[in-house]
Amino acid sequence: MNQVHVRHMRNLCSELKALEPELDQQKEEQKRQHVRYLSGLWAGFAIASGMLSGGVFAGISGQPWLAVLLTGPSFVALAKLFVIRRADASNAREISRLGHDVMVNLPADMQPYADSEIAKEARGGMSGP
């Protein structure tokens, strides 16, 4: 009976040794996934910080439409993409609609290309000879 028990223990030990490389591979894969996840978080933070800083600078410089583009819905979408790692089609449509609404509702003199000929004609004003 004692020999059977010893033989069984040896078999278990050899099976465990055979599984060690697989366990090591799983641990390495988990480490790689963790590094990838943290890299994504840091990249998201860097991009979000840059967009926010650029938006503030653009707003202070008298370019509110650029500030809206940098700090508005696109800012939220990129932050969500990097942090949560998910982007839904419905969210993309909503963000696009919000960005369009913000741009349309800016006062006429703050619109991009507010001084262009096309914008003046669209407002009903005639320019030129």
Spell out the residues 6+ positions from residue 45 whose beta carbon is closer than 8 angstroms to its own. Answer: 82
Does residue 49 sit within a domain? Answer: yes
Question: Does the residue 2 lie in any domain?
Answer: no
Amino acid letter, 74:
S
Q: In which domain, by residue range, is 56 found?
A: 30-110
Is 36 inside any structural domain?
Answer: yes
pLDDT tens for the 129 residues of the chain, in order: 577 777 778 887 887 787 788 888 889 999 999 998 888 888 888 888 898 899 899 889 888 878 877 887 777 777 777 777 766 666 667 766 766 666 666 666 655 555 555 555 555 554 444
Q: Which two tokens stand for residue 102?
A: 């913000």
Residue 18 lies in a domain: no
Establish if 117 belongs to a structural domain.
Answer: no
pLDDT of residue 127: 45
51 inside domain: yes
105 is a domain residue = yes
> How far is it, in rounded angstroms, from Cα 107 to Cα 83?
34
Give the integer Cα–Cα distance in Å for 81 and 65.
23
Joined tokens for residue 127: 């320019």
The total domain count for the chain is: 1
Q: What is the pLDDT of residue 64?
A: 80
* Burial bucket for residue 73 (CB in 10 Å: 0-12, 13-18, 19+): buried
